[in-house]
Amino acid sequence: MTTQLPPPLSPDAWERRYQEGTTRWDLGQPAPAFQSLLGAAEAPRPGAAIVLGSGRGYDALLFAQHGFDVTAVDFAPSAIQSLAEQAEAANLSLTLVQRDIFDLVPDLAGQFNYVIEHTCFCAIDPSLRPAYVQLAADLLAPQGELLAVFFTHNRGGGPPFGVSVTELHQLFEPYFEVLTLQPVANSVPSRRGEEHLGRLRRRDGFMA
């Protein structure tokens, strides 16, 4: 599926933000919620993981450092280039894919134990959310999990487009069992009270 994107959400628009340095979403570090998750007793075990809309890739690098076999996808060339440089400097091996996430299936269907989401869901047009849910389910192997930091702010407009916890349940439950979906306790100050960490398992009955 090749998506027709409105101008602010086109690959060129995202690339321009990287080139102009207007990347306000960029934390310069992994999401604190993922850092906590990976240090917890119930941390996900290393496996094949795909990071959607990876940006410069701090989350991708974090999961690679923890032994995951990471594929990172973004359609902005500058984001992928930055991640390639960081991976090389850290001597980490990741698979980097410069592509629209909505073009990953069927090529990569069923290949991952984890889909990693952090500020990609809030960056796509809300009309594409059902397609995103389907995509995440399609990419996962049976019993695979979506590990997500959702931006649950309630301001109008976007990007970033906010989402409510109720909407998340409605969207994802047909394809996923929601294992946890909890407020994030250690968000960066600018996102405090506006993030939820979700761990959702692909339903057994769902076939890619």
- Give the residues lining the site for ligand SAM (CB under 6 A): 14, 25-26, 53-56, 73-76, 79, 100-102, 118-120, 123-124
Q: In sequence order, what DSSP letters do the residues of 109-144 get, joined into one string?
A: TT-EEEEEEESSTTTS-GGGHHHHHHHHHHHEEEEE
> Shortest Cβ distance from residue 183 to ligand SAM (Å)?
18
**Rounded to whole angstroms, what are the CA distances from 113 to 9, 45, 63, 105, 134?**
28, 9, 13, 15, 16
By the 8 A CB rule, do 195 and 33 touch? yes
Cα separation, 191 vs 27, in Å, equals 11
Cα separation, 120 vs 74, in Å, equals 9
> Shortest Cβ distance from residue 159 to ligand SAM (Å)?
6
Question: Which of 143/186 has CB closer to ligand SAM?
Answer: 186
> Shortest Cβ distance from residue 41 to ligand SAM (Å)?
26
Question: Which of 19/143 has CB closer to ligand SAM?
Answer: 19
Question: Which of 116/140 has CB closer to ligand SAM?
Answer: 116
Question: Which of 74/195 has CB closer to ligand SAM?
Answer: 74
> Shortest Cβ distance from residue 157 to ligand SAM (Å)?
14
**Rounded to whole angstroms, what are the CA distances from 6 to 127, 150, 187, 189?**
11, 22, 30, 30
Question: Which of 68/75 has CB closer to ligand SAM?
Answer: 75
Q: How far is CA 107 from the centre of its chain?
A: 18
> Shortest Cβ distance from residue 204 to ligand SAM (Å)?
28
By the 8 A CB rule, do 202 and 140 touch? yes
